[in-house]
Amino acid sequence: MTVIKKLNDLDITLSKLSRKKILSLVPTMGSLHKGHISLIKSALKYSDEVWVSIFVNPTQFNDINDYKKYPVNSKEDINIIKSIDQNLNIFIPSIDDIYGKKIIRDKYNFDGIDKVLEGIKRPGHFDGVATIVKKLFEIFNPNFVFFGEKDFQQTMVVQKLIDDYFKDIKMIVCPTIRAKNGLALSSRNSLLSKKAKKNISIIYDSLLFAKQNFYKFSNKELKKIIKSNIEKNQGFLLEYFELRCSKTLKICNHENNHNSSCRAFICVVADGVRLIDNLLMHNEN
């Protein structure tokens, strides 16, 4: 296993790689869980060489307190990666290595897919995501990159970035990994209080309810029922619940969804911890 913390050292290591080797990159912000492990294991199936980057990216946080609270445990992350496969490689850069002295997020045109859902609630977030992802892609020049379906809107943004700048890169989107109660695994889950954890299954239950009743209720009715069910739990707030097309992120429902895939997107704040999830409602014909 190789663990590199300096960009210069990484450049030297990558320059020695055979161009015939298939290289995969799994970008993470650390605090690894079974969802990340599934991405890494998928990457191993595709590649001769797999790199996992660990970097809590400041430009994708629109709230400085959220950035400061983000869980960090590099030593544990390294141990987790080592337990998966001894041949994995890890890059843990500093902010200075990635951004230099000026921490600036670049601006991008994502044709509107960054202006809804998380884009409304977290202004500048996707520009920050694209800024770090573009830097990592330029550093590694990977053949494959791996992201999780839980952050579905993010995968759409990354695909647009690939289409615009990195046509030789193939993105693999891996299925959401869930806890026994249905909660989508996320690094933020470690911040949940014991009280919140008792009722947190309501998030996935709400998505399942929407799927089961997709043809029964209108979007407005579904949202009203789901909001009521969620906010019965003390300290829980529904930030959004929306039904949108998986290809365009335009609003969809059972009446206009005959030729597209409709997906439910949800964001719940549970005792101050913000959690997102999504679920496909209706497969494309």
- The structure tokens listed for 125 are 């977030």
**Under 8 Å between Cβ of 179 and 185:** yes
Q: Is 282 a catalytic residue?
A: no
Element (H, E) at 241: strand 236-245
**Under 8 Å between Cβ of 23 and 52:** no
Q: Which residues of 89-102 are buried (b: 16+ CB within 10 A; e: fewer)?
A: bbbbbeeebbbeee
**Under 8 Å between Cβ of 23 and 140:** yes
Q: How far apart are CA 284 and CA 206, in angstroms?
A: 22
Residues 6+ apart with CB under 8 A from 174: 38, 39, 42, 146, 147, 148, 149
- The structure tokens listed for 151 are 């952050």
- Residue 201: CB atoms within 10 A of its CB come to 14
- The structure tokens listed for 39 are 């991405």
Say which of 33, 36, 254, 282 is annotated catalytic: 36
| Amino acid letter, residue 146 | F
Element (H, E) at 282: strand 273-282
How are beta strands 49-54 and 89-91 bridged, if at all?
A: parallel
Active-site residues, by number, are 36
